Amino acid sequence: MNRLYAYNHPKIEVHFNKNSDNFIVEEIPLYEFSGEGEHLVLKIRKKDTTTWGALQALSEVCGAKVRDFGYAGLKDKDGFTTQFISIHKKHEEKLSNFSHPKIKIVEKTYHNNKIKIGHLKGNRFFIRLKKVNPTQATIIKEVSKVIEKNGIPNYFGYQRFGKDGNNYNLGRAILTGKKKERNKKMKNFFISAYQSHLFNLWLSKRVEISKLFNSFNQKELFELFNFPKEIIKKIKATPNYFKLLPGDRLSHYPYGRVFLCEDIEEESSRFFKKDTTVTGLLVGKKTPTAEGLAGNFERDITKDCEEFCEKMNGARRFAWIFPENLKATYKKEEAWMELNFFLPKGSYATTLLEELLHDKKDV
């Protein structure tokens, strides 16, 4: 699907080569490690190697199985990445002389618990774009300011959907029984791609609604939407670029519980201050859904899977995120634009780069 961009600037065609010079990722832990406990925590740096590849290399040295390691998330193969992993400290001695051409242990400490998936605040990124002319550099800098102020839609990146963009169809076929997949890992991956596809469809529709509210007056909006006039008036008056609807499921930001949006004015004020954000549905069993007007738009998308919804494990996911410390530095002599920014967990550099450039980049 062609996802709808939030902002209206023209496409910016620049060059991006994803390698260890131009793409750097640093994982930020959820909390400080205690410095004591039975788990050894290693900070590793890897170059052009997957997280799985790094774990395999470490397991071959210490004798532990790959599944015995703890990690907060998978990092890209292409690029220079830093992340934390954990293993029982009984393996420490064998790892003390670890040496690998693409992987380095740069720090170690201890903690009481094994690192688990999702136990991170987010990631800090560095991206270098090349062949950037002065006019493009000006646009990138101005759009960067807008993005840091207003945020961006938290779409799933294209890489989730495969080279041909067809993974979600395979997931749907598995759920309907039209396709068999014996590999449990691949089965779950394809089903996840289907959930992600529905999420992106819904989010693109909500971005469209927000753009319309930002562009038209109340009278025009009343002709476009079958909303009560008072609701249109309240939504139009809110300061947020992304417009909340009655019945949205919100979450405290950058982490916290999910709750129902019952007062548009009050919740839009908190959203504008970046204290909360709107969530989207990863459809599945026992997952709270939106209600009211927001629920209508959610059901328009999820009706596709009503008959097999119970076969999936659902969740709610941030639909709108706020990149932090977004800096765009132009190196005129080299024609480079260097981007530095922080994103919360569960979001992609892909999303920010595509919104910034209005061009699909393989991140």
**Angle at CA 24, nearest 5°, toward 23 and 26?**
150
Q: Which residues of 137-167 are buried (b: 16+ CB within 10 A; e: fewer)?
A: beebeebbebbbebbbbbbbbbebbeeeeeb
Retrieve residue 127's tokens. Answer: 């991206």
Q: What is the layout of strands, in order, in the sheet containing 258-260?
A: 258-260, 249-252, 276-282, 315-318
Using a 10 angstrom Cβ sphere, with 0-12 exposed, 13-18 middle and 19 or more buried, the burial of residue 286 is exposed
List the catalytic residues. 76
Retrieve residue 311's tokens. Answer: 């076969």
Q: Which of 100, 139, 147 is nearest to 5 (CA)?
A: 147
- Cβ neighbours of residue 363 closer than 8 Å, sequence gap 6 or more: 16, 18, 23, 76, 127, 157, 348, 349, 350, 353
CA 112 to each of CA 19, 34, 212, 260: distance values in angstroms, whole numbers, following the listed order: 35, 7, 51, 35
Instruction: Rounding to the nearest 10 degrees, give the CA dihedral for residues 16, 17, 18, 21.
Output: -110
